[in-house]
Chain A
Amino acid sequence: MAHAPQDPLTAALPMPMAKPRFEPGFLTPYAFIIPALLVMLGGLLYPVFMALYLSFYDWQIGLPLEDADFIGMTNFARMFTDPQVWEVLWVTLRFGFWTITIEMTLGVALALLLEKPIRGASVFRTIFILPLMVSPVVVGLIWRYLFDARIGWINYYLGAWFGIDPQVWLGDAQLAFFAIVLTDIWQWTPFIFIIVIAGLQALPSEVVEASTIDGANWWQQIFLVKLPMIKSILVIALLMRLIDVFRGMEVMLIMTGGGPGRSTELLSLHIYNRAFNTQQLGYASAISVLLIVIVFAISTAILTMANPMKNKSDV
C-alpha cells in the first residue's frame, strides 16, 4: 500500500480503512422493519404455503402430520370432478353477484343522497354505519332470530301488517338464500356508503360547479362527472367486497350452516366443513388453493381493467 506523507499529528492514529461497505447504522432501519416483516411472513405467508403444501397430502385432523400421505395432484383432480365443489362455487358466484350489485347500487345511491349537508344527514350517517361495527357472528345470530319461523319478527310483522303466512325462511333453499343475501346487504351496504361518501366529499367543489355552469343536470352531474371522478374508489370498494364474498362464512355458519342442502354454502364455508367436519384437511387445502387462485385472478383482472392508481384525479 502506498503511504501518503503523514501529518505528524495523525501519524499515531491507525491508517484509515477503506471506505466501509456499509455505513455504520445501516441496520437501524431494518431493525424497525423486521418485526413487522416477521409478523407478515408468519401470519400471512405461512398459512398460504401451508395450504399449498397440505393440498398435496391426504391428511386427517388428529393424526400427526408425519403420517399424512403424499398423493400429488390427486386432491386437485378430485376437486375438478367433485359436483359439491361446483355447486358451492355456483352458490358463491350467485351470492356475490346479488349482494355486490345491490350493495354497490344502494351504497352509491345513499351516498349521493346524503352527500349534501342536509339537516340530520350526519345523524343518519352515524346510525347507518352501525351494522359495520357488529361482529359477523353477532350479525348471524341477530338475523337467525329475525328470520326464525316461530319467534322471528319478520314472520310476525309480515303476518300482522300484510297477512302473509309464516314462512320457514331458513328451511327453504330459495328463502334461505334470499335471507343470507339480505343479511349481507344489511351489513355491507354501509361499507360502500362510507367509502363512496368520503370520495364524493373529497371531490374538488370547483369541478362540480364547473359542470353546473356547463349545464349538467343532477343526473348528468352524477354519471358524467362525479362517478367517473371517483372511479378508482368504486373499483377498490368493489374489489374489497369481492374478496370478502370468497372469504366470509361466519354469518352463514351461524344462520343456516350452509343449508338447507348446500343452498347457502359458500366456498369458504365448504372448505371449513371439509376441513373440520369431514376432517379432510388435505382436500380442504386444495380447495382453498382454488379459492386463492380465483380471488387473485379476479383482483388482477379488475385492477388491470380499471387501473385505479393511474386514474387518480390530479387537477
Chain B
Amino acid sequence: MTGVVLRNVSKSYGAATVIPNLSLSITEGEFVVFVGPSGCGKSTTLRMIAGLEKVSGGNIEIAGKDVTWARPKERDIAMVFQSYALYPHMNVGDNMSFALRLAGTPKDEIARRVQVAADMLELTPYLTRKPRDLSGGQRQRVAMGRSIVRDAYCFLFDEPLSNLDAKLRSSMRTELALLHKKLDRTMVYVTHDQIEAMTMADRIVIMKDGLIQQVGSPKQVYNTPVNTFVATFMGSPSMTLLPGELTDEGGTIKVRGAGFNLPLPDRLRARAAASPTRAITLGMRPEHFAAEARTPDFAAVDLTVRVAEYVGSSQYLAADLGGQAITAAVEVGPESDLLGDGRYYFDTSRLYLFDRKTELAL
C-alpha cells in the first residue's frame, strides 16, 4: 500500500490522551485536509506523520515503508509551517536550497531546482533578499518553495495560510490547488478553516477531541454529515439545529417543532419511519432558505428578523423561528433593501435529521 497510512495511532502526554486511536489511509497523490476546532488533535496527527512528535502507539507508513520510528529526514517529506519558519539569517535562495545543500546535492542541480521553484512561485526577483525584507505573502511562498525544491514524496502543511489576510488567503488557496495539480504529490493539510478544507481537499478528515468524525469528499461531508458536529462545522454560515419531533399525520411523517411543521424528503422518509426515537434534531442550512417558493418542496416559515446583514446578492438573517434563533442566507439580489419580518421559504428536500440523543444523522 502506497500513500500515507496511519494504523491505530495514538498519542498521550503523560495521563492526557490527545489521540486515542486513529486509523486512516491516504492514497498516493491525494490532497487530504484535516479540519477541526483547535485542540482536536489535527496538528498533533500531522506532526506525528512528520516525525516531529513520537507516537505513543500504532504505526505510520509512508510510501509503503514503516516510518513509525524513523527520523523526519528519513521520511521523504516536506513541511510548511504556520509561521513559515524561514531561516532569518539566510536569503531566499539559501532558505530554499538548505535541505538540498545538507543532502549534498550537486551545485548545478541545486541551482536548477531552486530556479524552477522560484519561477513557479514568482520568487525569482527576491532570491537574494532576506526573509525580513519580504511581505507575509512572499514569505509564505518562500516556505512553499522550500518544500517544492525537496521534491518530497509527501507534503505536509500546518495551517500555512492562517497568518495571511483574507484576500491573500483566497489567492494562495488557488495557488496551492494548482500546485497540487502540477506536482501530483500526496499532500496532507491541517486547518481550522472549513472553507480551506472544502475548496482544496480531495478528501476531508473532520476531527474532534482526537477522534475522526467523518472522512469524505467535500461534497459528501457537506451533503451527508454523519453527525451534528460535522453538520455545523462544515458550511458557512453554520447550519441551524432545532429540537423537533417526528409525527405521523395520516400516514405522512413530518417533523414538527416550535414554529415549523415540515414534510420529509424522499431520502429521509424510510429512515425516519425506522428511527427508534421520535425526539430528533432538525438541521437547516442557511443557504436553503429563500424569499419565495422555488419548487413544491419549499415550505413556508415565519421569521422574526433581528438583524439583516447585507453581503451583496444575499442577506444573512439572524432571525427567530418559533422563539428559537436561526440563521438564514436569503438570495434577493444586490439591489434589495434589508429584509424584515415575514414569510420565508425553506427547501425541505435539503433538511437534515439527527437523533437528538446520539447526535447521529438519521
B: contact size bracket? 20 to 34
- Asked if B89 lies at the interface with its beta carbon under 8 angstroms from chain A, I say yes
A29 to chain B, nearest CB (A): 33
Instruction: From known contacts A209-B52, A315-B83, infer whether A229 and B88 are also in contact, taking CB-CB under 8 Å.
Output: yes
- B103 and A206 form a contact (CB under 8 A): no
A228 proximity list for chain B (CB < 8 A) = 87, 89
Q: How far is the CB of B14 from chain A (nearest CB, A)?
A: 13
- Least distance between A164 CB and chain B CB atoms (Å): 46
C-alpha spacing A210/B86, complex, angstroms = 8
A220 close to B102 (CB less than 8 A): yes
A315 touches B88 (CB 8 A): yes
Q: Across the interface, do A231 and B89 meet the contact criterion of CB distance under 8 Å? A: yes
List B contacts of A209 (CB < 8 A).
52, 79, 81, 85
Q: Which residues of A contact B81 (CB under 8 A)?
A: 206, 209-210
CB distance B89 to A204 under 8 Å? Answer: no
Known: A314-B132, A315-B139. A215 touches B99 (CB 8 A): yes
Inter-chain contacts of B86 with A (CB < 8 A): 207, 210, 315
Query: Are A215 and B73 touching (Cβ within 8 A)?
Result: yes
Question: Could you say which residues of chain B place their CB within 8 Å of the CB of A216?
Answer: 73, 98, 102
A207 engages B87 (CB within 8 Å):
yes
Check if B102 sits within 8 Å of A215, measured CB to CB.
yes
Whole-angstrom CA separation of A228 from B50 in the bound complex: 25
Q: Is the CB of B73 within 8 A of A214?
A: yes
| CB–CB B89/A311 < 8 A | yes
Contact between A206 and B83 (Cβ–Cβ < 8 Å)?
A: yes
Tell me the A289-315 residues at the B interface (CB within 8 Å). 311, 313-315
Do residues B98 and A229 form an inter-chain contact, with CB atoms below 8 A? no
B161 within 8 A of A: no
Is B361 in the interface zone, CB < 8 Å from A? no
Q: Tell me if B87 and A206 are in contact (CB < 8 A).
A: no
For A228, the closest partner residue in chain B by CB is: B89
Which of A195-242 touch B at CB < 8 Å?
A: 204, 206-207, 209-216, 220, 224-225, 228-229, 231
Set of chain B residues within 8 Å of A206, measured between Cβ atoms: 81-83, 85
**A213 adjacent to B78 (CB under 8 Å):** yes
8 Å CB interface, B82-111 against A: 82-89, 98-99, 102-103
With A204-B83, A315-B84 given, is the CB distance from A213 to B89 under 8 Å?
no
**Count, A-B residue pairs, CB within 8 A:** 74
- B131 contacts the other chain (Cβ, under 8 Å)? yes
Provide the residues of chain A in CB contact with B73, threshold 8 Å. 212-216
- Between B71, B77, B87, B139, the greatest number of chain A beta carbons within 10 A of the residue's beta carbon is seen for B87
- Residue B72, interface by CB 8 Å: yes
User: Smallest CB-CB separation from B132: which chain A residue?
Assistant: A314
Known: A204-B83, A209-B85. A214 touches B99 (CB 8 A): yes
Assembled-state Cα–Cα distance A216/B89 (Å): 16
Q: Is there contact, CB below 8 Å, between A315 and B103?
A: no
| Chain A neighbourhood of B99, CB < 8 A | 213-215
Contact with A along B26-65 (1 / 0, CB 8 A): 0000000000000000000000001110000000000000
Q: Which residues of A contact B82 (CB under 8 A)?
A: 206
- CB-CB under 8 A from A207, the residues of chain B are 83, 85-88
With CB as the reference atom, state the residue of chain B lying closest to A208. Answer: B85
Q: Which residues of B contact A220 (CB under 8 A)?
A: 102
Kindly report which residue of chain B lies nearest to residue A207, judged by CB atoms.
B85
> Are B85 and A204 in contact (CB-based, < 8 A)?
yes
- Among residues of A, the one whose C-beta sits closest to the C-beta of B50 is A213
Instruction: Provide the residues of chain A in CB contact with B87, threshold 8 Å.
Output: 207, 210-211, 225, 228-229, 315
How far in angstroms is the closest Cβ of chain A from B70? 12
Chain B 266-311 interface residues, beta-carbon cutoff 8 Å to A? none
Contact (A315, B79) CB under 8 Å given A204-B85, A209-B52, A229-B88: no
24 contacts between A and B (CB under 8 A): A206-B82, A206-B83, A206-B85, A207-B86, A207-B88, A209-B85, A210-B81, A213-B50, A213-B72, A213-B73, A213-B79, A214-B99, A214-B146, A214-B150, A215-B72, A215-B99, A216-B73, A216-B102, A228-B89, A229-B88, A229-B89, A314-B88, A315-B88, A315-B139
Chain B residues with CB under 8 Å of chain A are: 50-52, 71-73, 77-79, 81-89, 98-99, 102-103, 131-132, 139, 146, 150
Given contact pairs A210-B146, A213-B52, a sample of 5 additional A-B residue pairs in the complex whose CB atoms are under 8 Å apart: A206-B81, A212-B71, A225-B87, A313-B88, A315-B131
A binding-site residues for B, Cβ under 8 Å: 204, 206-207, 209-216, 220, 224-225, 228-229, 231, 311, 313-315
